[in-house]
């Protein structure tokens, strides 16, 4: 998959494709790098679908989002 194909997938009209690729970057990239590609709002919007794709990173991202939600 090229970078352009990945970026197109992140903005696909298919919410499952968006969710899968968003979770993929959340699993594999450093947290700061994630936000080079997606926004906090996108993560929050897709969260119910993202959870099934996050694997071992689910706990970390759940904690991080709860911290932001409690302090924002």
Residue-wise pLDDT for 29-66, tens only, equals 999 999 999 999 999 999 999 999 999 999 999 999 99
Range of the domain at 50: 3-71
Task: Label residue 69 by pLDDT band (50, 70, 90).
Answer: confident
What is the pLDDT at residue 17?
97
> What is the chain's length?
72
Model's pTM, two decimal places?
0.89
Instruction: With CA atoms as reference, report the closest residue to 21 among 8, 32, 31, 33.
Output: 8
Report the domain count for the chain. Answer: 1
In this predicted structure, the answer to whether residue 71 has a pLDDT above a threshold of 80 is no
What is the pLDDT at residue 21?
97
Q: What is the DSSP letter of 57?
A: G
């Amino acid at each position: 998959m090229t970078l352009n194909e990945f970026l197109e997938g992140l903005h696909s009209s298919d919410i499952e494709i968006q969710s899968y690729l968003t979770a993929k970057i959340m699993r594999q990239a450093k947290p700061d790098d994630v936000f080079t590609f997606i926004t906090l709002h996108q993560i929050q919007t897709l969260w119910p679908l993202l959870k099934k794709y996050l694997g071992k990173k689910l706990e970390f991202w759940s904690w991080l989002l709860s911290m932001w939600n409690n302090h924002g």
